Chains A and B, each alone.
Chain A
């Protein structure tokens, strides 16, 4: 293995990890507030891929990128309103089952609307330009992805730690009932969480699919699970944790593939999960929580 091959793969890993990190943040934020795994998040990410295909066919990319992001946000908020809000007081298991139902629905809907055939993802020239550094050739998206991820995570951290909305979010994730008594509109905070999560998923989807070229109805389910693993790895509820987890999952997936064990590239993520859950169940950045009787 040469040094340049190593760096090539490292860049690929960072780029994939960046996309994963953006999706993982959506998982971690929803889990932080609602205490549920949003199984539909991966499928929202897949739908964002289709939105991009159709909006890019009609509009120039400068216009269609905001359309994709807004469309995904609307989808996410509608899902929250219809499928999760009525179950606010129900046991956690029902909400999770509802999320699985939504995921099932979105996959079938995509199958119906866009057929099961993989569709080619539009090429945005500015993202696809090839750069060459010595032996390494990378497209621009590979370099941009980790940078965008880090910048967005930084912005989000500022939002959560230094604004009123962020304070409300933190209050809701600590104790919803008390937050409500303090005059926080919990439903609005939850909606905002979904807006941010889905917006980031849309950006993640653009970065992910630009590198992978095709979208199909099931292309969201496995990356979705992996991103949840990334969120757990970093410590669920922690935003920098989700970012670090995303990078770890992305880089390790590329490393396993580069080592010639591509069959295990998906399985390895889950091995990592079981491993971390045994060694440190709260994840890398997670806080220790105790159960009250």
Chain B
């Protein structure tokens, strides 16, 4: 067991966490005035989990998998089913009537998330068996297809007694506080980070960089790919569950291919192969869509109407910005580096060095 040393760095990290906690505490205390900010933070955190889980496949294992929305959809339904208050179930399932074997099961949120994660992982294990033998583009399209299949199955009225078919689930209890959302997301991301930094993570990266060389080094390609896929799907499913809690409802129409693309763009903007990049990307894209909201309004200067701004213009500008990113900065903000406070230290040092040089002159 290593002794925990109290270096400057640990103190600094603890201070940062404390600042975040205080900020969140402030937001929580003034919940009514700041509900908008809380919504954005919660949404960003959930997207961050989904983005990191996608990055685990795309950025670290090099498998272009686009099935995130399907797993999220699955997670949303399972979590919704297990957390919905029992007394309200008959009302939500008024058309089909809820199947009796799940009618009286209600579990705490964390347990429900775990259940959905495990089911997602099992399904990933099963479909990974045929699908992961495919190469890049085929894998992408097969997983896209899988997520469409999941949506169709969950929306099928044959399963109406369980999933409420196309009516979806509603009245799912919300997060008890912003802390609950942030902590669950933080734990998920931390777990994935641990995975990436373990020997398995190194195997992932070996496959990404050169799968044939990795195989020659004794890595069981298929097993490791499947492991990455199962872990990634576990967290994507959990992210879906969190999404359902955040939206307080679950419907197949939320989890379309467009959602997968959205998360993919977060991963790309943040940097393929960087966990902190994906988190940053998730926050930037979620917040960016809100910041650009002014473009959706119509403005008049006197009787002159400002051209172009009207509903939908925001997303056009937003997608142009994304395209510029993809074309001219395709490494993303972080590239494949991770965020660390040493950067600031280095910047500080270099500034100090420059000042000193000036003094010497």
Residues in A lying within 8 Å of B, measured CB to CB = 31, 35-37, 82-83, 86-87, 90, 92-94, 96-98, 100-105, 107-109, 111-112, 115-116, 218, 221-222, 225, 228-229, 232, 263-264, 266-267, 269-271, 273-274, 277-278, 281, 293
B149 touches A271 (CB 8 A): yes
Contact partner of B137 among A36, A87, A102, A225, CB < 8 A? A36
Contact flag A229-B145 (CB < 8 Å), given A111-B315, A281-B138: yes
B-side contacts of A36, CB under 8 Å: 137
A109 touches B261 (CB 8 A): no
A-side contacts of B312, CB under 8 Å: 108, 111-112, 115-116
A293 touches B131 (CB 8 A): no
**A84–B146 CA distance with the chains assembled, in angstroms:** 27
Give per-residue flags for B139-167: 1 if the beta carbon is below 8 A from chain A beta carbons, else 0: 01110111011011101110000000000
By DSSP majority rule, is chain B's interface helix, strand, loop, or mixed? Answer: helix
Nearest CB in chain A to that of B134: its residue:
A277
**A56–B3 CA distance with the chains assembled, in angstroms:** 77
B265 interface residue, CB < 8 Å from A? yes
B137 touches A98 (CB 8 A): no
By DSSP majority rule, is chain A's interface helix, strand, loop, or mixed? Answer: helix
Nearest CB in chain A to that of B313: its residue:
A112
Nearest CB in chain A to that of B153: its residue:
A267
List CB contacts (< 8 Å) of B309-324 with chain A: 310-313, 315-316, 318-320, 322-323
A102 touches B142 (CB 8 A): no
Listed from nearest, the 3 A-B pairs whose CB atoms lie closest are A270-B145, A112-B312, A267-B152
Give per-residue flags for B101-143: 1 if the beta carbon is below 8 A from chain A beta carbons, else 0: 0000000000000000000000000000011011011101110
- Closest Cβ of chain A to B304, distance in Å, is 21
A97-B330, A101-B326 provided; 8 other pairs, C-beta below 8 A? A222-B148, A225-B257, A263-B156, A264-B152, A267-B149, A273-B141, A274-B145, A281-B138
A273 touches B142 (CB 8 A): yes
Give per-residue flags for B283-316: 1 if the beta carbon is below 8 A from chain A beta carbons, else 0: 0000000000000000000000000001111011
Residues in B lying within 8 Å of A, measured CB to CB = 58, 64, 130-131, 133-134, 136-138, 140-142, 144-146, 148-149, 151-153, 155-157, 212, 257-258, 261, 264-265, 268, 272, 310-313, 315-316, 318-320, 322-323, 326-327, 330
Contact partner of B157 among A87, A92, A103, A263, CB < 8 A? A263
Contact partner of A100 among B136, B264, B311, B315, CB < 8 A? B264
A-side contacts of B145, CB under 8 Å: 225, 229, 269-271, 273-274
B141 touches A112 (CB 8 A): no
Contact partner of B141 among A37, A94, A105, CB < 8 A? A37
A-side contacts of B140, CB under 8 Å: 37, 96
B-side contacts of A109, CB under 8 Å: 316, 319
A105 touches B316 (CB 8 A): yes
A101 touches B265 (CB 8 A): yes
B-side contacts of A102, CB under 8 Å: 323
- Closest Cβ of chain A to B54, distance in Å, is 12
- Offer 8 A-B interface pairs, CB within 8 angstroms, sorted by A: A37-B141, A94-B326, A97-B264, A98-B326, A105-B319, A109-B316, A112-B310, A266-B152
B-side contacts of A96, CB under 8 Å: 64, 137, 140
